[in-house]
Amino acid sequence: MLVGSTLRSDLMPASMRPLLPFACLAFALSSAQLLAQDAPSAAEPQRSAPKALPILSTVPEARDVAWTAGPMTLDIDATDTTRRIIRVKQTIPVTGAGPLTLLFPEWIPGHHAPRGQIEKLAGLEISAGGKPVAWQRDPLNVYAFHLSVPAGVPSVVATFQFLAPTASAQGRISFTDSLLNLQWFSVSLYPAGFYTRRIPVQASVTLPAGWTAATALRGEKAGDVIRYAATDYDTLVDSPVLAGRFSRSVDLGHDVALNIFADDPAELAATPDQVALHRKLTDEALALFGARHFNHYDFLFSISDSLGTIGVEHHRSSENGVGPGYFTRWTDALGDRDLLAHELTHSWNGKYRRPELLWTPDFATPMQDDLLWVYEGQTQLWGYVLSARAGIMTKAEALDALAAIAARLDAVPGRQWRPVADTTHDPIISARRPKGWASWQRSEDYYNEGMMIWLEADAIIRRESNGTKGLDDFARAFFGMNDGDWGVLTYARQDVIDTLNGIVPYDWAGFLRDRIDRTTQQVTKGGFTLGGYRLVYGDAPNVEIKANEASSKTVDQRYGVGLITGNDGAVQSVVWDSPAFRAGLVVGDRIIAVNGVEYSGEMFRAGLRQSVDRKSPLSLIVKQDRRYRTMTLDYSGGLRYPRLEKIGEGESSLDRLLKARTGGAPVN
């Protein structure tokens, strides 16, 4: 028994000393428990306790000191389009013999979570001077590999493979026979103990014959090999590559390029009018923020039904992936229209201005997902606003999208126990894995609920300033300083509050506390009511919901009876404590018949229409696993779809928010 012993901080690794108070507390609690067990009762046999040995991680803590050994070289072979095996050779210079820890990136910016794909790393071999060097994985940090550098060698060489998924069951498809989304954090290691921005690296990639590539990095191509200019490891990870067989690059002005890649070359055929709308997007973004934090910016835009969809921000680029039809079936692609505006906004909000607890010195330090209702929530708002200002979405389409978002948030009873602030932890808690009762558990609602809160903030600013100011003024003041600086400027909540008060005095601390930190019955709709609109419901879907139902092949009635069903009858979502919930429907059920007639989406809609005022109660035959049951839903609300209805006459503050700021007004 160790009662009476002490914990010696001078014997601990430096990286563990900050944990000493917690270790002491745990030690004290354990000691108390052991003392309580010293005298066994007569009713209990005497037992010996197993001896617990401490396990301490020996991964060096990141320090802001120069890496003096010289630049790493990273050579990627991405030519195996059949097996999708990416082969890596990395040379890491060293300054002498002794311990070295190499890290595989774990905490990935833009993902807000430990999403490093360590499970796809295979075949790791390390050598020095042509001889193998043994390595050992750290037992507490499985992303860390320890080795001992032998004397007299200038570098160590690591070779391994990244096993890109060949089927969606293995993860997001990032490599196909015609497209590659190369993310450097999946194909590289880095030495522990240094800020990643201090580690120089020079990378190259070998592509399949005839392929082209786009990235924020600049380099030279010789044959099928692209050798990029030396940079720091932090910038490398922030600069993914999109490559493929068919591509097109469009100049959008302001040193912004839209790099389009597709499985089918026909998908590259953006019309001149569509290109003009995307050029206007860059005009509107620069007009909004008044400064830029990149020397050039590259949209990496894939249109594919084989490459996985994506939307991830970077400082001078963004990874954007959608299904076929973005240009060729423009009216059907409404759900993707805010994507490019959203990710471009992140260059200012999320990359340049970043919550101080989300900035980390390397990719091993855990992120604290604080203030994502600013980082993602306000970006979500600007995604829709800039798309409307540019004409990529019409004003009517933007209003319909806002109505649908507000109604969906009202169909989340989980807000009764879980405030918005707590949902910012969801990237770590659930990592976007499926949830059984998503409406009760809540998900990453800081995106859309954050947007609704910022929409209300705009309306309050306009009201309090008699229409002379709006959220645009906050965007310029908070994100638009230091033109040309593409470093990182961190902030805390008080900085947000102070900037808001600098725009217009108000109880912004209380405003945010009530909407972010406390539970609510409904999502705030002040942005609508103060902005000249109200949320109403009818029996016809608005444009946004109609397009979403068509693309997803569903009937979305979460706003009424409380469920989403596929056109095949599969129950995809059930709202907690809704009529569908109380009837016993669950995800995985299949509706076989509606009112005695074989199920179809239209038959289900017709049955809901007939349920109004209980004229014809909705009867369902449902299959769950191998069992069938008949149920009658206690519901009389009919079909229920949201839309925004104008209040009063003339231009309202929400109308003004969506109005173009630059010349050449969009065609709505």
Rounded CA-CA distance 595/587 in Å is: 21
Rounded CA-CA distance 69/190 in Å is: 13
- At 58 the pLDDT is 84
pLDDT in tens, 44-64: 556 666 766 566 678 999 999
210 token code pair: 């005839």
Rounded CA-CA distance 442/623 in Å is: 27
- pLDDT for residue 171 is more than 70: yes
pLDDT in tens, 449-499: 999 999 999 999 999 999 999 999 999 999 999 999 989 999 999 999 999
Q: In this structure, are strands 590-594 and 563-566 parallel, antiparallel, or unpaired?
A: unpaired
- At 54 the pLDDT is 65
Categorise residue 198: left if φ over 0, alpha if ψ from -120 to 50, beta otherwise: alpha
- At 56 the pLDDT is 67
- pLDDT for residue 505 is more than 90: yes
Say how far residue 271 (Cα) sits from the centre of its chain.
30
- At 613 the pLDDT is 74
Mean pLDDT of the chain: 92
Rounded CA-CA distance 405/385 in Å is: 14
Instruction: Look up the CATH number of domain 353-532+648-657.
Output: 1.10.390.10
**Poorest-pLDDT segment among 6-20, 75-89, 525-539, 552-566:** 6-20
Model confidence at 207, in pLDDT bands (50, 70, 90)? Answer: very high
Q: DSSP for 481-545?
A: -STT--S-EEE-HHHHHHHHHHHS-S-HHHHHIIIIIS--SS---HHHHTTTEEEEEESS--HHH
Residue range 67-244 forms a domain whose CATH class is mainly beta
Instruction: Look up the CATH number of domain 548-642.
Output: 2.30.42.10
Instruction: Determine the average pLDDT of the residues in 216-234.
Output: 97
Give the predicted TM-score (pTM) of the model. 0.91
Model confidence at 333, in pLDDT bands (50, 70, 90)? Answer: confident
**Amino acid identity for residue 519 in this structure:** T
- At 53 the pLDDT is 59
Beta strands in 339-483 (DSSP E): 353-355
123 token code pair: 């075949």
Among the listed residues 466, 469, 424, 458, the one whose alpha carbon sits nearest the alpha carbon of residue 442: 424
Instruction: Report helix, strand or coil for 656.
Output: helix
Q: Could you give the strand order of the β-sheet that contains 310-313, starting from the edge strand earlier in sequence?
A: 246-251, 256-262, 297-303, 317-322, 310-313
158 near 189, Cβ under 8 Å? yes
Annotated domain spans of the chain? 1-56, 67-244, 353-532+648-657, 548-642
- pLDDT for residue 636 is more than 80: yes
pLDDT in tens, 256-267: 999 999 999 999
